[in-house]
Amino acid sequence: MGRVVTWDELDLLRAQWRRDGRRVVWTNGCFDLLHVGHLRNLQACRACGDVLVVGLNNDASVRTIKGPARPVNPEDDRAELLAGLACVDAVVLFGETTPEVSLARLKPEVHCKGADYAPPHGKPIPEARTVAAYGGAIRFIPLVPGRSTTGTLERIAGAGDG
């Protein structure tokens, strides 16, 4: 199982992984209500390399991305849950709404995105230029149909209507 680390700790780990020739994979997100879609996605990310680092949006950036009612769970809880998964080697918090700064610092060999970003019809990838600049690759991970935090929250809200 992984652990929650600071950026300074991650820099030291990255240097060691580089010396060991380990292929580092990065993925990121809010991971507000952990569900099986998250788990399967993270497992698929981990299969793309030797080490999986999860960049976790901090509470302020989640509010910017998802709105004032989110996150449901605070960043420390979300980070601890992610770090407890066998497929995750490290979790680091970041405060930006997109991961360019984090990717430029870590320089993982692989940056994983959901298939909803895959060309030619996927959503834009603002960090693509950053990944290309340091020679990294972007891999697209299949989404798990019917599994999303937004869908879960909608089902919970609907349950209260009866």
What secondary structure does DSSP assign to 121-142, as a single string? Answer: TSPP-TTHHHHHHTT-EEEEE-
* Residue 161: band (very low, low, confident or very high) from pLDDT cuts 50, 70, 90: low
Predicted local confidence at residue 160, as pLDDT: 62
What is the reported pLDDT for 148?
Answer: 64
The Cα–Cα gap between 132 and 71 comes to 31
Neighbours of 161 (CB within 10 A): 5
Residue 159 pLDDT class (50, 70, 90 cuts): confident
pLDDT band at 125 (very low <50, low <70, confident <90, very high): very high
Three-state DSSP at 62 gives helix
Sheet holding 110-114, edge to edge: 3-4, 90-94, 51-57, 24-29, 110-114, 137-141
pTM: predicted TM-score of the whole model, two decimal places: 0.91
The CATH number covering residue 81 comes to 3.40.50.620
Domain span including residue 125: 3-159
- E strand or H helix at 54: strand 51-57
65/18 Cα distance (integer angstroms): 33
Q: What tens digit of pLDDT does each residue of 65-119 get? A: 999 999 999 999 999 999 999 999 999 999 999 999 999 999 999 999 999 999 9
Q: What confidence tens digit (pLDDT) does each residue in 57-70 have? A: 999 999 999 999 99
Q: What is the number of domains present in the chain?
A: 1
